[in-house]
Structure 1
Amino acid sequence: MSEFLFVFNNVMLPIAIIVVIGYVVQLRFNLDRVTLAKLMINYIMPVFIFMNIFDADIDFALLIYVLLFLILYAALTFVLTYLAGRAMGLDYGHKILFTNSNLFYNAGNYGVPVNDLVFRSDPYAMSIQIMMVFFQNMFAYSYGVVSLRSAESGKLKALLGYFKMPIFYGLILGLIFNFFDIGIPGSLYSAFDYVRDAMIGTVLFILGSQIAGISFRRIRVSSIIASAMRLVAGPALTILLLLLFRLDGVVAQAILITTAMPAAVNSSIIAQQYSDDPEYAAEIVMFSTLFSVITVPVVIYIALNIF
Structure 2
Amino acid sequence: MNEFIFIFTSIILPIGLIVGTGHVIQLKFKLDRSTLAKLSIHYVMPAFIFMSLYESSIDFSLLFGVMLFLILYALLSFILSRLIAKVMKLDKDRTVLFTNANLFYNAGNYGVPVNDLVFRSDPYAMSIQVMLVVFQNMFAFSYGIFSLSAKNVGQAKALLSYFKMPIFYGLLLGLIFNYFHLPMPAPFETALDYMRNAMIGLVLFILGAQIAGIRFSRLRWSAFVGALARLIIGPALAFAMLILFNMEGVVAQVILITSAMPAAVNSSIIAQEYSDDPEYAAEIVMMSTLLSSVTVSAIIYIALAVF
**CA separation in 2, counterparts of 1:119 and 1:153?**
40
Q: What is the CA-CA distance between 1:225 and the residue it aligns to?
A: 0.3
**CA separation in 2, counterparts of 1:218 and 1:91?**
18
Give RMSD over aligned pairs. Answer: 0.7
Contact 2:151 2:274 in 1 (8 A): no
Opposite residue 213 of structure 1, the aligned amino acid is: G
CA displacement 1:229-268 (0-9 Å, x = unmatched) = 1000111101100011110000000000000000000000
Query: What corresponds to 2:169 in structure 1?
Result: 169
Query: What corresponds to 1:234 in structure 2?
Result: 234
CA displacement 1:110-159 (0-9 Å, x = unmatched) = 00000000000001000000000111011111111000011373423221
Verify: 1:32 aligned to 2:32, yes or no.
yes
Q: What is the CA-CA distance between 1:188 and the residue it aligns to?
A: 1.4
**CA separation in 1, counterparts of 2:74 and 2:191?**
37
**CA separation in 2, counterparts of 1:135 and 1:188?**
27
Query: What corresponds to 2:87 in structure 1?
Result: 87
**CA separation in 1, counterparts of 2:260 and 2:195?**
27
Query: What corresponds to 1:193 in structure 2?
Result: 193
Opposite residue 183 of structure 2, the aligned amino acid is: G
Contact 2:55 2:123 in 1 (8 A): yes
Unpaired runs of 5+ in structure 1?
Answer: none
**CA separation in 1, counterparts of 2:270 and 2:81?**
18
Opposite residue 182 of structure 2, the aligned amino acid is: I
**CA separation in 2, counterparts of 1:173 and 1:188?**
13
Superposition map of 1:83-232 within 5 A: 83-151=83-151, 153-232=153-232
TM-score normalised to structure 1 length: 0.99
Query: What corresponds to 1:68 in structure 2?
Result: 68
TM-score normalised to structure 2 length: 0.99
Query: What corresponds to 1:18 in structure 2?
Result: 18
CA displacement 1:175-232 (0-9 Å, x = unmatched) = 0000000011122111111111100000000000000000011110000000001000
Opposite residue 57 of structure 2, the aligned amino acid is: D
**CA separation in 1, counterparts of 2:208 and 2:142?**
25
Opposite residue 198 of structure 1, the aligned amino acid is: A
Query: What corresponds to 1:277 in structure 2?
Result: 277
Three-state SS of the structure 1 residue aligned to 2:31 is: coil
**CA separation in 1, counterparts of 2:155 and 2:5?**
45
**CA separation in 1, counterparts of 2:97 and 2:153?**
21
Three-state SS of the structure 2 residue aligned to 1:105 is: coil
Opposite residue 7 of structure 1, the aligned amino acid is: I
Identity %: 64
**CA separation in 2, counterparts of 1:117 and 1:64?**
26
Opposite residue 36 of structure 1, the aligned amino acid is: L
Stretch deviating more after TM superposition (295-304 or 155-164): 155-164
Query: What corresponds to 2:296 in structure 1?
Result: 296
**CA separation in 2, counterparts of 1:276 and 1:269?**
13
Three-state SS of the structure 1 residue aligned to 2:276 is: coil
Q: What is the CA-CA distance between 1:90 and the residue it aligns to?
A: 0.3
Opposite residue 15 of structure 1, the aligned amino acid is: I
Opposite residue 298 of structure 1, the aligned amino acid is: A
The number of residue pairs the alignment matches comes to: 307
Structure 1 residues 252, 99: CA separation in 2 closer, same or farther (over 3 Å shift)? same
4+ runs deviating over 4 angstroms: none
Unpaired runs of 5+ in structure 2?
Answer: none
**CA separation in 2, counterparts of 1:297 and 1:135?**
24
CA displacement 1:76-110 (0-9 Å, x = unmatched) = 00000101001101000000000000000000000
Query: What corresponds to 2:243 in structure 1?
Result: 243
Opposite residue 210 of structure 2, the aligned amino acid is: Q
